[in-house]
Structure 1
Amino acid sequence: MKVRWRRAAYAAAGSLLVGLLSVLPASPAAAATGQISGLAGKCVDVAGASAANGTAVQLYDCNGTAAQQWNVGSDGTIRALGKCLDVSNNSTADGAQIHLWDCVGGANQQWVVTAARDIVNPQANKCLDVSGNNSANATRLQIWTCTGAANQKWTAPATGGGGTPSGFVVTEAQFNQMFPGRNSFYSYSGLTAALGAYPAFANAGSDTVKKQEAAAFLANVNHETGGLVHIVEQNTANYPHYCDWGQSYGCPAGQAAYYGRGPIQLSWNFNYKAAGDALGIDLLNNPWLVQNDSSVAWKTGLWYWNTQSGPGTMTPHNAMVNGAGFGQTIRSINGSLECDGRNPAQVQSRVDAYNRFTGILGVTPGANLYC
């Protein structure tokens, strides 16, 4: 059950970037059209109502014109005047400006509208943002690291594309069916509260891909925790082993404080440091948050899933979104101990759970299930 993570996988631990390489259709599907309103009640607006490529997208008084009628599609595009909301120069940097451009199916034209009212570009994993928190007319829009601030909150037309009130593709009833004997600590509300930390999770690509990714994450979590039963590592003799004093910050919570916790069994002081830095939570000094706060526990699992490749070559998120298959998620989580014939029984346990969970969600498991 214990995950052994190699330190080499943590070079990118602070990065929140996640990839999205799905090919989009030429026209939006299951779309809803209307104004997108945000800061100071103003609307997302195409400057001068021009459909020319490169036209600035800005904040402006809501006026109901065609320049403010946005088609929010379940394919991930947001369109006005026949063109797509586009991140300039395919950039993932804070401050990259938003403009209108021909719809070409690029990842810089893909958006996720979350239940928390963020509009996120999954390629950058950053939010649609009003520059400088300035509510003046003609203020440019950009992407920026998601902060939860008012200049990143939007009210957009709903696509009516299914899902749940939380925006998650797994309903609470399905979650309970997957984990009938789960510990109450691993609550559905804790999971859905954590989703905002990584908005692209189970939210990129087709409905099938979204459900396959959710099933893949939960199947691996099922294996790591004995069906969402164990909150902490069961072998207490291992606890003192997870302190690497070679790190400059040491082990301020104590030699034996960094044992496995949570849905992916976060362990080692350097992992607590990296996950905490990425999530904005001081887990190095207070690792017990992972076993005491359900949402924090789920966030650490999502941190690894979306940003770490471990002994593999890609993050588990990218493995599912890019079609590499469930087997690559196993490799990225515990491949050095399980894959390539090292422990086929453990691999089979994960695959069995994945097949069961995709069945509950009503989707095919796809190819490449083993590693």
Structure 2
Amino acid sequence: MRMSRAAASLPLLLLVVVALLAAAEARRHKDGDEKACDKGWECSGSRFCCNDTITDYFKAYQFEELFANRNDPSLAHAAGFWDYQAFITAAALFEPRGFGTTGGKEVGMKEVAAFLGHVGAKTSCGYSVATGGPLAWGLCYNHELSPSQSYCDNSNELYPCVEGVEYYGRGALPVYWNYNYGVIGQGIKQDLLNHPELLEQNATLAFEAAIWRWMTPMKRKQPSAHDVFVGNWKPTKNDTLSKRYPGFGATMNILYGDLICGQGSIDKMNVIVSHYRHYLDLMGVGSDNAGDNLDCADQVAFNPSSKNLDS
């Protein structure tokens, strides 16, 4: 029995259609074009866009476990302010740059635990016999309760103090001084120099400012806290001579400098390390997987100074 000419041409037609679809898909994946992902993340050329996002491995119940007493009416000073959605909304702005999306799921979980370890330690009102222990009281504050000064540096011409405005500590990683409000505000496109109070009025902005600090180098040719934690940074000879190595310890060096680092095994440093390790346990990663170079007891500060973001 003879096949008709139309029937014989069908296989060829199908091959042409398949080839055209393949070419179209290849064009979609061409460098610089938007990638096709199934996670609802709109890609804009980011190499992280098809990786797990923070909501894939860090859920609301885990946030509640990490900050179990933040809304306790008897002790918490920012009850009702901090929540999971505020963190996730802020974090999503930095996921295309690698925050929580670098190096696979475990590295992402460790980075979230590391960042929140700093946040928890810096906003804690926990003490040794507090309910749940001293590590269960992160996000107790959203601003400094009894400022010792206005934190105005009149010598700074780039970000001069605004009359009547005080620059005491506010936020998830508390910000101090007019010049720090100025540079962070510029980074997140908010007028924090004139309105530093935004960091104690809007939890999403408070987390956004903190993650911006985590992701941004203090100076050119220096790493960010993110870089030293996820392995993007390779120490120079001068770094190794200064005992600066990749790991959690170097994140403290970048964020706090000689206020915490290079002073031996002091309580202020150990509390931050303890929060990080505790959060790793709560998130199921385990404190045994905290990594090397956890402290900065012997590190020389990247930027020795009496004033920095945390002073």
Shorter-chain TM-score category? 0.5 to 0.7
Provide the residue aligned with 2:195 in structure 1.
286
Q: Percent identity?
A: 28
Task: Say whether residues 1:184 and 2:184 are aligned partners.
Answer: no
- Which of 251, 260, 268 is 1:338 aligned to? 260
Q: Which amino acid aligns with 2:175?
A: L
Q: Is the 8 A contact 2:171 2:210 kept in 1?
A: yes
Larger radius of gyration: 2
Q: Deviations over 1:190-233 (max 9, x none)?
A: 11111233122111112111111100000001111111111111
SS in 2 for 1:288: helix
Q: Is the 8 A contact 1:258 1:267 kept in 2?
A: yes
Q: Is the 8 A contact 1:209 1:320 kept in 2?
A: no
Q: Is the 8 A contact 2:54 2:108 kept in 1?
A: no
Runs of 4+ in 1 over 3 A off after TM superposition: 83-86, 110-116, 242-245
Q: Which amino acid aligns with 1:246?
A: N
Provide the residue aligned with 1:325 in structure 2.
247
CA distance in 1 between partners of 2:163 and 2:45 (Å): 35
Question: How many Å apart are 1:349 and its aligned residue?
Answer: 0.8
Q: TM-score, normalised by structure 1?
A: 0.57
CA distance in 2 between partners of 1:263 and 1:162 (Å): 21
SS in 1 for 2:148: helix
After superposition, the Cα gap between the structure-2 partners of 1:327 and 1:249, relative to the gap in structure 1 and judged at 3 Å, is: closer
After superposition, the Cα gap between the structure-2 partners of 1:115 and 1:353, relative to the gap in structure 1 and judged at 3 Å, is: farther
Task: Say whether residues 1:258 and 2:154 are aligned partners.
Answer: no
Stretch of structure 1 that moved more, 316-325 or 242-251: 242-251
After superposition, the Cα gap between the structure-2 partners of 1:162 and 1:295, relative to the gap in structure 1 and judged at 3 Å, is: closer
CA distance in 2 between partners of 1:260 and 1:250 (Å): 17
Question: How many Å apart are 1:295 and its aligned residue?
Answer: 0.7
- Which of 211, 216, 224 is 2:109 aligned to? 211
Higher helix proportion: 2
- Which of 365, 368, 371 is 2:290 aligned to? 365
Provide the residue aligned with 1:51 in structure 2.
none
Aligned residues: 238
Higher strand proportion: 1
Q: Relative contact order (C-alpha < 8 Å, sep 6+): which is higher? A: 1
SS in 2 for 1:242: coil
Q: Is the 8 A contact 1:215 1:357 kept in 2?
A: yes
After superposition, the Cα gap between the structure-2 partners of 1:336 and 1:258, relative to the gap in structure 1 and judged at 3 Å, is: same
After superposition, the Cα gap between the structure-2 partners of 1:120 and 1:211, relative to the gap in structure 1 and judged at 3 Å, is: farther
Q: Is the 8 A contact 1:313 1:332 kept in 2?
A: no
Q: TM-score, normalised by structure 2?
A: 0.67
Equivalent runs, 1:195-210 vs 2, <5 Å = 195-199=91-95, 200-210=98-108
Q: Deviations over 1:259-300 (max 9, x none)?
A: 110011012111111111121111111111111011111111
Provide the residue aligned with 1:4 in structure 2.
none
Q: Which amino acid aligns with 1:184?
A: G
Equivalent runs, 1:1-371 vs 2, <5 Å = 65-69=21-25, 80=26, 85-86=30-31, 98=32, 115-121=40-46, 164=55, 169-182=57-70, 183-199=79-95, 200-226=98-124, 227-238=138-149, 240-252=150-162, 254=164, 256-309=165-218, 313-322=222-231, 324-342=246-264, 344-363=266-285, 364-371=289-296
Q: Is the 8 A contact 2:53 2:100 kept in 1?
A: no
Q: Deviations over 1:44-93 (max 9, x none)?
A: xxxxxxxxxxxxxxxxxxx9811344xxxxxxxxxx49x9743xxxxxxx
CA distance in 2 between partners of 1:99 and 1:212 (Å): 30
CA distance in 1 between partners of 2:253 and 2:178 (Å): 22
Q: Is the 8 A contact 2:143 2:170 kept in 1?
A: yes
> Once superposed, what is the RMSD of the aligned Cα atoms?
3.2
Q: Which amino acid aligns with 1:301?
A: A
Question: How many Å apart are 1:117 and its aligned residue?
Answer: 2.4
